[in-house]
Amino acid sequence: MSGGGAAPAMKMSDVFLLLGVTFLVGGLFVHGLVSPTSLHADAEPYSNGASLLKGDTIEFTVTAENESSIAVEIANEDGEVVLSESFLLPSGDSNSIDFEADGKGFYSYTVEFSEGSGEVVVDVDRKLLIDFIIYPLGIVCVVFGFYKRKDEKMDESIDAVLESSD
């Protein structure tokens, strides 16, 4: 450390507490921050993908800012189109499309506004809830951190100054 000082070593309980809280807060950010993507007819189509297991679903929620023509297409990892839908939306209206995976694999999707503009929100729902393993892992780390802190406090020696009462 600068100034010739030395920092005390970080206790193992603090490491587990910090790690557990990071897992919990990080999980909230990963699952809670789903932001809509703005699309326009002049812009590139919105393309992305997701690895899905059998029974997992993808939900597309499309909201039109003005009268819009929208096309949604999903293809499996072989390039075979498994869902293709086109629809018209009046201004301010929204539509939801659900897709359930028939088998395990990577599915790519494309949302395109051929006319108008709007927003799309893509929500992937897992059947096995593997994405939520971070919460129990974070809770275990926090509980173990508190246990280690209690254990470290028990092992501390108590220094007392004994004074004579003269």
Contact indicator for 125, 60 with CB cutoff of 8 Å: no
On the question of pLDDT at 39 being above 60, the answer is yes
pTM equals 0.69
Strands 57-64 and 94-100, sheet pairing? antiparallel
> What's residue 19's pLDDT?
94
Domain boundaries, the chain: 10-152
Contact indicator for 113, 89 with CB cutoff of 8 Å: no
Contact indicator for 95, 144 with CB cutoff of 8 Å: no
Q: What's the gap between Cα 94 and its chain centre? A: 24
Contact indicator for 116, 66 with CB cutoff of 8 Å: yes
pLDDT digits (tens, 9 = 90+) for 96-141: 999 999 999 999 999 999 999 999 999 988 888 777 899 999 999 9
Q: Report domain 10-152's class.
A: mainly beta
